[in-house]
Structure 1
């Protein structure tokens, strides 16, 4: 990618996304790929129970995306966002974007501002309420969320869910950590070379096979992780990013 203006967005080939509430993340400037782009929020705009944000984190949401800074009202929120952002089926998410009006269980008209609004690769949108683990499992709270979900228009989102950081399996969390670390780098040439090689290796292959065949060493290792994070290469979601792990190409 040499010119941002004449390069398609990595997800621009997904025609269903024209109906999405928001677009894929901004692309990085290839001349300054480590420039930080602030998200729509700033430190004083977020948080229902606190006046300011408590945690911020930096990441790319795709190997060609800009580095973005996300503000979070709590450690719990930050951990959920990090795991969402590293999931291979997630294209983008927005913090504190969407208000959903509803009648509560006592019949009062009110609204909730959802913690995360997630755009998936298949075009579906998911609203996520982030809570600490005990509350995320509490039946009374789940009943509240079920009531809100039943009143959420399909034009706003396809489903409404609750998450804590413990929703995500430890293996997934470990993979996500590696994905975000690999995305901090910028190596489009290695990414493209490894993806092209994947189309010549057969239907399935091991992590170490594609790294060895590339001749790019650690550059290929990081490229494979980025490609897995972006969903262009696949593995079982709970498999580690290890030499013997089986990978396969995403169907065209």
Structure 2
């Protein structure tokens, strides 16, 4: 796999601190001549078994839901396969967070000793790479189990045995642990990212510093003079963290 040190200077995340320490890198950038070319993420992942590489991508029989998005407005268009609706919804919310620059589904295996003393392992639902270089392992469960004390104790036990070289922390989530307003914003971000309009993105990005410390969504869209193109560009820039959205909005 490409190392972080090999990311081209023009990559929007090449300058991020501590990224060279990460176990995986941000997604590749889209080809400007074919920005809607689709990459199926599961097809590129392998694990080692008996010294022979074995593909671990999910078959159509285990794929319950698939969604397509970009993890950045300039990133390659990717299709993520999910084993459940719950998993798909959590992935959508993770992928739309401005501090998340990449995640890999069903990629990382963590060996541990369970609470009964048995040697076992778990393949984590999502391995998330944050903008600050931190890596988070995410277990996705339906809401009742995600709040169940006995399951949280199991995860805490696994987290204590997860090497710092694998990830910085371990968390549990369900789709309902994301606020409804946040979930609505994420849906808008993914819809806007499906498009491709770097000229509008750069125009709005260049305009933002001249709008003052605070401005409304409609003010910057109107100032851009780009109509619906400006509207979608602002959404993409919010999703990528280039324009900060007030938490009370």
TM-score (normalised: structure 1): 0.88
Q: Deviation digits for residues 155-190 of structure 1, max 9, x if unmatched?
A: 111110001110100000000000000001100011
What is the alpha-carbon root mean square deviation over aligned residues? Answer: 1.9
For 2:222 and 2:18, the matched residues in 1 are separated by: 37
Mapping for residues 222-241 of structure 1, pairs under 5 Å = 222-237=232-247, 239=249
Q: Is the 8 A contact 2:65 2:81 kept in 1?
A: yes
Cα deviation 1:22-66 (Å, max 9, x = unaligned): 10011111001011011034898349xx96211111001000001
- Distance in 2 (alpha carbons) for counterparts of 1:154 and 1:35: 36
Change (3 A) 1:119 1:75: same
**Structure 1 residues 186-232: Cα deviation after superposition (integer angstroms, max 9, x where no partner):** 00011001011011112221111111111111111100000000011
Question: Does the C-alpha gap of structure 1 residues 6 and 91 become closer, same or farther in structure 2, counting only changes over 3 Å?
Answer: closer
**Would the alpha carbon gap of residues 41 and 55 (structure 1) be closer, same or farther in structure 2, given more than 3 Å must change?**
farther
SS at 1:209's partner residue? helix
Corresponding residue number in structure 1 for 2:149: 139
Contact 2:64 2:85 in 1 (8 A): yes
Please state if 1:185 is matched with 2:195: yes
Q: Deviations over 1:56-96 (max 9, x none)?
A: 11001000001100000011100000010001110000001
Given the superposition, is the C-alpha separation of residues 238 and 100 from structure 1 closer, same or farther in structure 2, using an over 3 Å criterion? farther
1:237/1:46 CA distance change after superposition, 3 Å: farther
What is the rounded CA distance, in whole Å, between the counterparts of 2:56 and 2:104 in structure 1? Answer: 16
The within-5 A match list for 1:79-94 is: 79-94=89-104
Superposition deviation, residue 153 in structure 1: 1.1
Aligned pairs for 1:100-249 within 5 A: 100-237=110-247, 239=249
- In 1, Cα distance between the equivalents of 2:213 and 2:15? 23
**Secondary structure of the residue that 2:223 maps to in structure 1?**
helix
> Equivalent residue of 2:210, what SS?
coil
- The 10-residue stretch of structure 1 (160-169 or 228-237) with the greater mean CA deviation from structure 2: 228-237
Match of residue 57, structure 2, among 40, 45, 50 = 45
> C-alpha distance in 2, partners of 1:178/1:16?
30
Query: Where do 5+ consecutive residues of structure 2 fail to align?
Result: 1-6, 45-54
Task: Find the aligned partners of 1:76 and 1:224 in 2 and give their Cα distance.
Answer: 28
| Aligned residues between the structures | 233
1:250 match? none
Partner residue, 1:13: 15
Alpha-carbon distance in structure 1 between the residues aligned to 2:110 and 2:126: 12
The 1-side partners of 2:99 and 2:8 are apart by 26
- 1:15 shift after superposition: 3.4
The answer for the alignment partner of 2:38 in structure 1 is 36
Moved beyond 4 Å, runs of 4+: 41-44
Q: How does the TM-score come out when normalised to structure 2?
A: 0.89
